[in-house]
């Protein structure tokens, strides 16, 4: 799979170079070499209730349940959060993204997806933190057979879970939007305490 993505990336770079669009080619090459990491998760709410009010140190706050109970009856429990994505550019050139699509996975199950319509530029040899506002629907993850999300949220602060962020950047070339070939995957095992920092 990596070989196919590398070939597509090289073909894209060749086409961009053929068209005389050197800056875009350089930014695309720099982007391919960037390191992505989940720095923190903030302002998480479930059915509009802040996570801190629902559960802390493994204790369930029954006073926060009415909003969640109503959402559960409607089989629609919205989850909102901000994921701070750290992007490090180790190259000698600026890396830029005009916008990007994302998919967030929790234990290999989709938690949220969307698009960030924001230009991101990471200067050479620098690191930037990009906040991603996510919105998901977690009814099946809470009331389905697999209780991994519920166990993670209600566990103690040493509880760990696997998160994956898949990012598909978009660049603008000669007024046309060109999507990066494939997704860049960021896999991270996170402990529950990241939700309360």
3-state secondary structure of 125: coil
Of the candidate ranges 108-112, 133-137, 179-183, the one whose mean pLDDT is the lowest: 179-183
Domain ranges of the chain: 2-196
Left (φ > 0), alpha (ψ -120 to 50) or beta: where does 141 sit? alpha
What is the pLDDT at residue 154?
72
* Cα-based torsion angle of the residue sequence 180, 171, 175, 124 in order, rounded to the nearest 10 degrees: -140
Query: What's the pLDDT tens digit per position in 76-117?
Result: 889 999 989 899 999 998 888 888 899 999 889 998 999 988
Q: Would the pLDDT of 185 be above 80?
A: yes
pLDDT digits (tens, 9 = 90+) for 27-85: 767 777 888 888 888 898 888 888 877 765 555 555 556 777 787 788 888 999 998 98
CA angle 90, 190, 64 (to 5 degrees): 130
Q: CA 40, CA 14: separation in Å to the nearest integer?
A: 37
Q: Is the dihedral of CA 60, 61, 64, 65 positive or negative?
A: positive
Q: Looking up tokens 């996170």, which residue turns up? A: 190
Cα–Cα distance, 99 to 193 (Å, whole number): 30
């Amino acid at each position: 799979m990596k070989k196919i993505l590398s070939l597509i990336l090289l073909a894209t770079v060749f086409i961009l170079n053929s068209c005389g669009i050197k800056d875009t080619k350089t930014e695309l090459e720099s982007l391919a070499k960037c390191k992505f990491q989940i720095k923190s998760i903030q302002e998480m709410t479930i059915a509009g209730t802040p996570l801190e009010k629902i559960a802390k140190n493994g204790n369930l706050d029954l006073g926060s349940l009415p909003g969640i109970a109503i959402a559960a009856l409607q089989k629609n429990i919205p989850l909102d959060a901000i994921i701070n994505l750290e992007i490090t550019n180790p190259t000698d050139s600026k890396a830029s993204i005009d916008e990007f699509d994302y998919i967030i996975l929790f234990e290999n199950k989709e938690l949220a997806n969307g698009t960030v319509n924001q230009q991101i530029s990471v200067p050479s040899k620098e690191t930037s933190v990009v906040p991603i506002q996510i919105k998901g629907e977690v009814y099946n993850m809470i009331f389905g057979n697999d209780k991994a999300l519920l166990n993670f949220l209600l566990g103690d602060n040493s509880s760990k879970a696997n998160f994956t962020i898949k990012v598909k950047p978009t660049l603008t070339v000669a007024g046309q939007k060109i999507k990066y070939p494939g997704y860049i995957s960021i896999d991270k095992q996170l402990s529950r305490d990241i939700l309360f920092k």
